[in-house]
A and B are shown apart, each in its own frame.
Chain A
Amino acid sequence: MKKKLGIATGAAMMIAAGVMANGQRDAILSGFAAEAGVSSFSVDAGRTLFLSQNTGGKEATPSCTSCHSNNPQAQGRTRVGKVIEPMAVSVNPERFTDPEKVEKWFRRNCTSVLGRECTAEEKGNFMAFMMSQ
């Protein structure tokens, strides 16, 4: 009985954490939507951005996939061999839950890959793609 209760409590807590994480992601997404003046984001546009090869940024990082790999559900690797946890929310539910972190990494990595900061719409599309994965 006690064990069952424990499992139930654990499951409830996990669901609660999941709901909270979803809430945090939704809040970040709505922020981007308001900034961009759009009502929804495009998963396809996010995928295209993720896979795109660019020349405007730094030489060593022409694409997001340079470090994150082509598969959002797989681990990536930095240029000096450090593991990057998967981007896909389905395998890494902590992704896109900390607004400060999200802003920091978009700011740096868009500059590295594109040579400019991303627009709020691009960030929203990217997030939508990763949430669909």
Chain B
Amino acid sequence: MPETGTPTIPVWDKFIRVFHWALVIGVSTAAVSGFLLRPTWINLHIWAGVTAAALLLARVLWGIWGSKNARFSGFVKGPHEVLTHVKELRKGKAARHLGHNPLGALMIIALLGTVFLLLLTGMAGLGGVFKTGPLGFVTDFSIGSFTLSVHYLLAIFLLVLVGLHIAGAVFEGLRTKENLVKSMVTGEKEARKGDHDVPEVSARPLWVIVIFGAFMGGLVWLWIFFSAVPSFGVPAPVPNPAYADECSACHMAYPPSLLPAKNWGSLMVALDDHFGEDASLGQAATDEITTWLFENAADSVDTKPAHVFSRTNPEAPLAITATPFWKNTHRNIPDAVFARPPIYDNGNCVACHSDAESGAFYPANISIPKETTP
């Protein structure tokens, strides 16, 4: 209740207000998990992004069939009207808009469009780089890593837009002497003479709910269906009993996709001095395992580990832990952590990467175990 007695009128309906603050939470969560948290939080990031995208879909439907100040047809203006508004602002005589002003409308479109592009590039990155999600079956690593870079740039762009959006709200609030943040909570604005208003329309909430439900149902079904399709460039594992028996007698079963065939070849002809131990095998076993390693080596696999570990270290071309990527991603983990039980050695990937033997190394599957008694 305004104490001055100035009458207020409803501007932002309940949907708009809930949508606005829910999107704030969704985008903030995605930004914090994406920029600040460790990669192990990737699933939270994905959920935040998907939630923001679902909100976006609801907002678009409400922009077509919602209440008068929610409708795109009411507030989205052409370049002529935007310029006129800017000119009036500079002369200091722009009238107040009850809903979005023409500049604010541009911001709404930019914000919604950027969230949509973030969804697309996120899904493509998830599919191409991490070989999961609905686009995993069709996206290769190079496209995935490119779109992930675009995703990163778009995320920075979105933060800039959010900054401008807040600045715009503060500016307009000062200019019109009204707390616009409060308006987005209560939905009310003071009724003043000379305000720009839009024609009355009747919202069709039921219609929007039905279409939203149908869309979401379909999209969730598509997501689940395509997520289940085998990922692009990730061949089904071909187990090899000789490899499992001989090689995993001493260490985890390193997936063949972690090194190129050339490096596996060098490794297999030097088993008598294998990382400081004699691990030589009979000729038959050596041949069988070599063939299997060649057939399943990194050269024919499109996963991120296969790509990043193919850049081996010329000084230690057989050691995955000597590759530039490995060293860079593990640089903050002290040697003592690797040495302690139950890890014991930095070559024991599976101690922290629970899916290491599949070759996936998905970020959410990383967990550094607490020290145990040996």
* Minimal beta-carbon separation of B106 from chain A (angstroms): 58
Residues of B within 8 A of A81 (CB): 251, 341-345, 348, 351
Once the chains are docked, how many angstroms separate the CA of A80 from the CA of B343?
Answer: 8
Residues of A within 8 A of B342 (CB): 81
* Minimal beta-carbon separation of A77 from chain B (angstroms): 7
Q: A82 and B276: CB pair below 8 A?
A: no
Q: Of B251, B273, B280, B374, which is within 8 A of A82 by CB?
A: B251
User: Does A47 sit within 8 A of B, measured CB to CB?
Assistant: no
Count of B residues near A, CB < 8 Å?
24
- Of all chain A residues, which has the CB nearest B279? A108
Residues A82 and B278 in contact in the complex (CB < 8 Å), given A77-B344, A77-B374:
no
Q: B344 and A112: CB pair below 8 A?
A: no
Once the chains are docked, how many angstroms separate the CA of A82 from the CA of B278?
Answer: 16
Residues A109 and B251 in contact in the complex (CB < 8 Å), given A79-B344, A80-B344, A81-B343:
no
Q: B277 and A108: CB pair below 8 A?
A: yes
Count of A residues near B, CB < 8 Å?
16
Q: B250 and A61: CB pair below 8 A?
A: no
* Minimal beta-carbon separation of A118 from chain B (angstroms): 12
- Of all chain B residues, which has the CB nearest A109? B278
- The A interface, classified by DSSP as helix, strand, loop or mixed, is loop
User: Does A111 sit within 8 A of B, measured CB to CB?
Assistant: yes
Q: B280 and A108: CB pair below 8 A?
A: yes
- Of all chain B residues, which has the CB nearest A66? B277
Of A77, A108, A109, the most chain B CB neighbours within 10 A belong to: A108
- Of all chain B residues, which has the CB nearest A103? B282
* Minimal beta-carbon separation of B276 from chain A (angstroms): 4
* Minimal beta-carbon separation of B349 from chain A (angstroms): 9
Q: A58 and B345: CB pair below 8 A?
A: no
B 338-374 contacts with A by CB, 8 A? 341-345, 347-348, 351, 374
Q: B251 and A80: CB pair below 8 A?
A: yes
* Minimal beta-carbon separation of A95 from chain B (angstroms): 14
A interface footprint on B280-300 (CB within 8 Å = 1, 0 otherwise): 111000000000000000000
User: Footprint of A on B, CB under 8 Å?
Assistant: 248-252, 272-273, 275-282, 341-345, 347-348, 351, 374
Known A58-B273, A59-B276, A82-B252; further 6 A-B contacts with Cβ < 8 A: A80-B250, A80-B345, A80-B347, A81-B342, A81-B351, A109-B278
Top 3 A-B pairs, shortest CB-CB distance: A81-B344, A111-B278, A81-B348
